[in-house]
Amino acid sequence: MSKTFHITTFGCQMNEHDSEVMAGMLLEKGFEPVKERRDADVAIINTCSVRENADKRFFGTLGQLKRRKKENPDFIVCVCGCMMQQQHVIDTIKAKYPWVDIIFGTHNIHQFPELVDNALNEKKKQVEIWPDGGEIVEGLPAKRLFDCKALVNIMFGCNNFCTYCIVPYTRGRERSRRPEEIIKEVRNLVSDGVKEIMLLGQNVNSYRGDEKTDFADLLYRLNEIDGLERIRFMTSHPKDLSDKLIQAFVDCDKLCKNIHLPVQSGSSRILKRMNRKYTKDAYLELVAKLKAAVPGITMSTDIIVGFPGETEEDFEETLDLVRKVRYDSAFTFLYSIRKGTPAEKYEEQVAEDVKHERFNRLVDLINSISAEKNAQYTGRIERVLVEGASKTNSKTLSGRTDGFKLVNFEGTKDMIGNLIDVEITEGKTFSLEGRLRK
């Protein structure tokens, strides 16, 4: 009987992709995936540390596994991901959850199969953390979540050290993959049926594949790949979004007309304290350039509310910026203190009730703009890459437009994985409703 596994993933697409790689490696070893964690021989928890509630959810999940481990000592528990790159987390696990079998970090997932073997065969408990990434390991398999679209890492790590953020400490310094490796991977994906790729990096604008390949050059090269239909990327940092990249939006027909451009705050004073290296005006200028060069481009962003020292005036600058940019959607976060980051030491932490009150005002504004923008789609024909069927009604399909809008419509299962023209019948706050063209 083959062994079974289950992976729980917290966090961003980097983690999602790491989980796909771990699944790929286990499938190669003959393991089988199971839907429920309680049915698995090996349970893997891939953690995120970006905000405190992510940490809390992880320890909650570990607590749940304790009983299962007691009932069946052969059950293997592996924990990995960003939290494991922090010594205080490792110390807590060793002290409070000593029954965890394998602990490993973000830089050595390629060692995962070996660690599992050791745990299964020799009952060996292991903690294997690399403090920073070495050479990039190429050629690891991956089991994709979707058949028609794939996540592709182009770089690892982050050098920006925004003062609130843990990622540079958990993912190490920036390292770019060579363009040939990326192109080879994408060609293989396309021959496996992939139509859309999402290029991943914490700051794709600082990609340097070799002396003559920056991020825009990479896009031009990927745009040449036959059979590939759509290219997306995330995340790009406003501080080094080049004119050359804006031109790539104009020139590359496969590059989707959509950009996620995290602003974090609309106050130049707060942006400086966050170490973001741009001002409100510089950001607005950049947005104006993008909108002028790429008519109809859709935009999303990330915003942190209640960064230490944020005053009502600072927050109003954020509201003002949101009104000016008119984002299609935005992720909003309450500032969360992260151990080891510079902002942890900042005085003037904003009171919880003030943070929440500002957060609600911001979300109301963002949602009203999203609803207005989506309402304008009514009657339009949009090309949708159909991703799957709804869990509750198999006739309801969903997919994304070029501009990354989620569309629900009635169709048949054979449409999944294809690009299909859909007539938009209604724009809601978070999605569009549509119907097939007669």
User: Footprint of ligand F3S on this chain (CB under 6 A)?
Assistant: 11-12, 14-15, 48-50, 82, 166-167, 170-171
- By C-beta, is 262 or 411 nearer to ligand SAH? 262
Q: Which is nearer to ligand SF4, 237 or 400 (CB)?
A: 237
Nearest residue (CB) to ligand SAH, 273 versus 338 = 338
User: Smallest distance from the beta carbon of 171 to ligand F3S, in angstroms?
Assistant: 5
Residues constituting the chain: 438
Span from 101-109, 131-139, 330-338, 345-353 in contact with ligand SAH (CB under 6 A): 330-338
Nearer residue to ligand SF4 within complex by CB, 54 or 100: 54
168 binds, among ligand F3S, ligand SF4, ligand SAH, none (CB under 5 to 8 A by kind): ligand SF4
Query: Phi/psi at 245 (nearest 5 deg)?
Result: -70, -40
57 or 428: CB nearest ligand F3S: 57
Give yes or no for a contact between 265 and 302, defined as CB atoms under 8 angstroms apart. Answer: no
Binding to ligand SAH by residue 170, rule CB under 6 A?
no
Largest Cα span, the chain: 64
Cα distance between residue 330 and residue 429, in whole Å? 12
Residues 6+ apart with CB under 8 A from 41: 3, 4, 5, 74, 75, 76
With the C-alpha atoms ordered 408, 412, 416, 422, is the resulting torsion angle positive or negative?
A: negative
Shortest Å, Cβ 131 to ligand SF4: 18
User: Residue 253 or residue 347: which is nearer to ligand SAH going by CB?
Assistant: 347
Q: Minimum distance from CB of 357 to ligand SF4 (Å)?
A: 24
Residue 419 tokens, joined: 């690009």
Letter string b/e over residues 57-94, b meaning 16 or more CB atoms within 10 A of that residue's CB = ebeebbeebeeebeeeeebbbbbbbbbbbbeebbeebe
304 contact choice in ligand SAH, ligand SF4, ligand F3S, none (CB below 5 to 8 Å, kind-dependent): ligand SAH
Q: Which of 257, 176, 249, 165 lies closest to 210, judged by CA?
A: 176
Bridge partners, 127 (sequence order): 103
CB of 51 to ligand SAH, least distance (A): 5
Q: Is 277 helix (H, G, I), strand (E, B) or coil?
A: coil
Asked if residue 409 lies in contact with residue 433, where contact means CB atoms within 8 angstroms, the answer is yes
- For helices 112-122 and 13-28, give the axis angle rounded to 10 degrees: 50
Q: What CA–CA distance (Å, rounded) separates 281 from 416?
A: 43
Q: From the CB of 17, what's the least distance to ligand F3S, in Å?
A: 10
Q: Find the binding residues for ligand SAH in span 244-263 (CB under 6 A).
A: 262
State the binding partner of 338 from ligand SAH, ligand SF4, ligand F3S, none, CB within 5 to 8 A by kind: ligand SAH
164 binds ligand SAH (CB under 6 A): yes
**Distance, CA of 357 to CA of 314 (rounded, Å):** 14
Select the residue interacting with ligand SAH from 49, 111, 235, 318 (CB under 6 A). Answer: 235
Amino acid at 103: I
Interface residue list for ligand SF4 (CB under 6 A)? 158, 160-162, 165, 167-168, 202-203, 237
| Closer residue to ligand SF4 (CB): 106 or 374 | 106
Please report whether residue 355 would count as binding ligand SAH according to CB under 6 A.
no
Residue 189: both structure tokens together? 């994906």
Judged by CB under 6 A, the stretch of 27-35, 164-172, 291-299, 416-424 that binds ligand SAH is: 164-172
- Letters for 287-306 (x = contact with ligand SAH by CB under 6 A, - = none) are ---------------x-x--
Residue 62 binds: one of ligand SF4, ligand F3S, ligand SAH, none (C-beta under 5 to 8 A by kind): none
Contact by Cβ (8 Å): 315, 344: no
* CA–CA gap between residue 250 and residue 256 (Å, rounded): 10
Q: Based on CB atoms, which residue is closest to ligand F3S, 137 or 288?
A: 137
Of 51 and 373, CB closest to ligand SF4: 51
